[in-house]
Amino acid sequence: MIVFESVCKSFGATVVFDGLNDAFEKGKVSCLLAPSGSGKTTLLNMVAGTLKPDGGTIKNLPEAVSYVFQEERLIPQKTAYKNLEFVLKPKYPDAKKLGAIIASHLEAAGLKDAADMYPNEMSGGMRQRLSLIRALANPAETLLMDEPFNALDMTLRAGITDMFLKYLATYKKTVLFVTHDLDEAISAGDNIHIYTSKPMRLIIKLEIPGTKGERKLYDGAMTKFKKEIYRLTAEK
Amino acid sequence: MTKFFKDGGFKGRIIKVICFLLALTVIICIWQYLSEHFYPRIGVIPSPLKTLATVRSEMAKDSFFKAVFGTLSRSIISFVYAFVPAFILAALSHIFKPLKQFFNPFIAICRAMPTIALIFIIILIVGTEKLPLLIALLVVFPLVYENIYAAFENVDKSLLAMANVFKVGRLRQITGIYLPAILPYIFSSVIAGFGLNIKVVIAAEVMGLPSMSIGYLILVANQRMDFTISFAWLAIAVVLSYLCETVLKIISRFSMPYIYPDRKILKTYCKKAFHKVKGLVGAIKAKGGTGR
């Protein structure tokens, strides 16, 4: 379990965390809901180890993480295959195994025919899928996702969320999933962490009812659950 | 095939060739006009046809290839002399920012100092033998340094952050992110710098008088008032510079298929055509075999 204990972080005069306490369970998908600009990306960067807290402690920080960024962050000079290879080669020194892993992930994402395409030749959805499989194929226990599907239309979004869920059913990972879309959080998550705006503070952590993958987004119980979340966020 | 015509810029390439030929025609017309109107009796500016004939006669001489090879090798060596330290220092300046501040005045002096003044100073200090090398170094170094430094500064920081998050090693980051990002800048500085370098080397050769060089032959022709030969060598120098630039441009285009996707399409098309021909040849051979 990744535990934040009284974590403080400021950027100049801007206080992002002023004693943040929270815990993210191992092997679970934790969805982070908070107003824009409240510090969700800062939280993810701290878990990734690229930012250090000014005060407090973070316990059980993972040694390696995978990260799906808001933007795709693909290397424009490399093809889809080479983009995956760039990240995965140090982890899979055996060329045959590496090739098989990349091929299987490209196929799962529907990008088999795009292996030789450069990012500027791909559509936004293809690029985002590539960015997602880059993170999924990386053998790290923790996966950080920072509003990765924001730029996608509804159909693409649903498709990618589906792919993500199938993947999680096979590989158990600790996931911190930042999103503004409550339906997306309910579809993919195990629990939801709701925060205040800056300085960011945990309001409540809720277990999402039902079994993941079988949840009905608009049945009575789920509508009630959503109403409760809207009430909590509106109150704070 | 249709895709090649659509995306590969085939039309654009035709337009390019037409524009090039048009520009060449205009240049030749202006050249012809100038040769007829400026001291035609002395022949300060020989006509294009006369120059062409002289170029052909110069090419038949033994000295031609020696002079071209001499100037070209001097240009390449001096360019490498300038490029390597400029590249290393630009990389170091990117890592240690105060170095950039330290080098700024040197670069400003190199840029602002008139080449002719530099030539006289260097002749006094090191003599004429190494003059072309040193002059080229001083002229090309600032251009390459600034270009490569800008390239390093423009490397996408978010990609480096991504590589750090995924724990990609430093060497892999250099080869996978830095090098591809600075490659276009390297090529543009090589193309611009090398063209400039040939000019500067020839100017320095005129002053430094190394035997077997284009500059030396231009000077000798001028001293004999043989403007046709002098002009012919100028034309040879222009063509030489243009050829070098073209070769470098072709190399740069094939090295960066992500910038020039038409090359990729062309390559795929050529591959397909090759396989078709190969299949056809195989079929003909097989037919011949059964016929026998």
Restricting to A residues 172-231, those with a Cβ less than 8 Å away from any Cβ of B are none
Q: Which amino acid is at B68?
A: V
User: Which chain A residues touch B172 with a CB distance below 8 Å?
Assistant: 86, 89-90
Contacts of B165 in chain A (CB under 8 A): 48, 50, 65, 67
At B265 the pLDDT is: 59
Whether the model pTM is above 0.90: no
Nearest CA in chain B to A117: B258
A86 interaction partners in chain B (CB closer than 8 Å): 163, 168, 172, 176
Strand partners, A143: A66, A175
Q: Does A138 touch chain B (CB under 8 A)?
A: yes
B15 interface with A at CB cutoff 8 Å: no
Q: What is the pLDDT of residues B205-260, one digit of tens each?
A: 887 766 778 888 888 888 888 888 888 888 888 888 888 888 888 888 777 766 66
Query: Average pLDDT of each block of 10 consecutive residues along chain A (236 residues)?
Result: 88 87 88 86 90 88 88 89 92 89 86 87 86 89 86 74 79 86 82 87 83 73 79 70
Domain boundaries, chain A: 2-64+141-235, 76-139
Contacts 24+ apart (CB under 8 A), A82-88: A83/A119, A83/A130, A83/A134, A84/A130, A84/A133, A84/A134, A84/A137, A86/B163, A86/B168, A86/B172, A86/B176, A87/A134, A87/A137, A87/A138, A87/B163, A87/B166, A87/B168, A88/A134, A88/A137, A88/A138
Task: Give the pLDDT confidence score for residue B194 in this predicted structure.
Answer: 86
Q: What is the pLDDT of residue A176?
A: 93
Judged by CB atoms closer than 8 Å, whether chains meet at B258 and A50 is answered as: no
Tens digit of each residue's pLDDT (9 = 90 or more) over A112-131: 888 888 888 888 888 888 99
Q: How would CATH label the architecture of A2-64+141-235?
A: 3-Layer(aba) Sandwich (3.40)
Q: Which residues of A141-161 are buried (b: 16+ CB within 10 A; e: fewer)?
A: ebbbbbbbbeebeeebbebbb
Residue A146: strand, helix, or coil:
strand
Q: Do B168 and A78 touch (CB under 8 A)?
A: no
Predicted pLDDT of residue B219: 85
**Are A72 and A130 a contacting pair, CB within 8 Å?**
yes
Please indicate if any CB of chain B lies within 8 Å of the CB of A78.
yes
Interface confidence, given as ipTM, is 0.86
Q: Does A89 touch chain B (CB under 8 A)?
A: yes
Does A73 lie at the interface with B, CB-CB under 8 angstroms? yes
Q: Please give the average pLDDT of every successive group of 10 residues along chain B, which has 292 residues.
A: 52 84 92 84 81 86 85 87 90 90 87 79 77 79 90 91 91 90 87 85 78 83 83 88 87 72 62 79 73 45
Q: Tell me what pLDDT residue B260 has.
A: 61
CB-based contact, B165 to chain A, within 8 Å: yes
End-to-end CA distance of chain A: 27
For chain B, say whether A75 makes contact (Cβ under 8 Å).
yes
Nearest alpha-carbon partner for A112 in A102, A98, A123: A102
The predicted-structure confidence for A178-192, as pLDDT tens digits, reads as follows: 988 888 888 788 898
CA neighbor of A117 nearest in space, from B253, B261, B155, B184: B261
